[in-house]
Amino acid sequence: MRTTSQLSRRARTWVTALVAAALVMVGLPASADTSQHRPAYHFSASKNWLNDPNGLVFHKGVYHLFFQHNPIGTGWGNMSWGHATSKDLVHWTEQPVAIPFDANEGVFSGSVVVDQENRSGLGTAQNPPMVAIYTSAYTAASGRDGIQAQSLAYSTTR
């Protein structure tokens, strides 16, 4: 049986790890939004807010990282999927927004896979699709304010 002090130490360790991970993912405030304030060996968007990783896939020699991102602001909102690529998991290139928000929908968390065998039929055997499944958060403009649903997006271009 564990004692209260053992649980407290374990809890403190987990809290410390979670805070460190959150600081890496969230990045820095806009006032420190310069390359000299960015992590050297972890991905961080070049600007604005980012959060949850939504998938890391490897395809044709390239790692693709997708993440929650506000492409137009430093705070939570305008939820979209950012995209970055790497050949070595150390040096990253930020790509254009993969799945952008619009007036009708925020693009919340999900995951992505490479459909290597094209079982979805959304690509070809020679060019399999990346398939993302994510939560759509509908806005008042959509007429479905507050409703969330599972959505699918795919790409055959990289």
Tell me: the pLDDT tens digits for 10-46?
Answer: 544 444 444 444 444 444 444 445 566 666 667 888 8
Residues annotated as part of the active site:
52
All structural domains of the chain with their residue ranges: 4-155
91-141 pLDDT, tens digit each: 899 999 999 999 999 999 999 999 999 999 999 999 999 999 999 999 999
- Does the pTM of the predicted model rise above 0.75? no
Superfamily in which the 4-155 domain is placed by CATH = Glycosyl hydrolase domain; family 43 (2.115.10.20)
Tokens of 121: 């039929």
Q: Exposure string (b/e) for 102-117, b if CB count within 10 Å is 16 or more?
A: eeebbbbbbebebbee
Closest CA to 54 of 23, 11, 15, 97: 97
pLDDT classification of 90: cutoffs 50, 70, 90 = confident
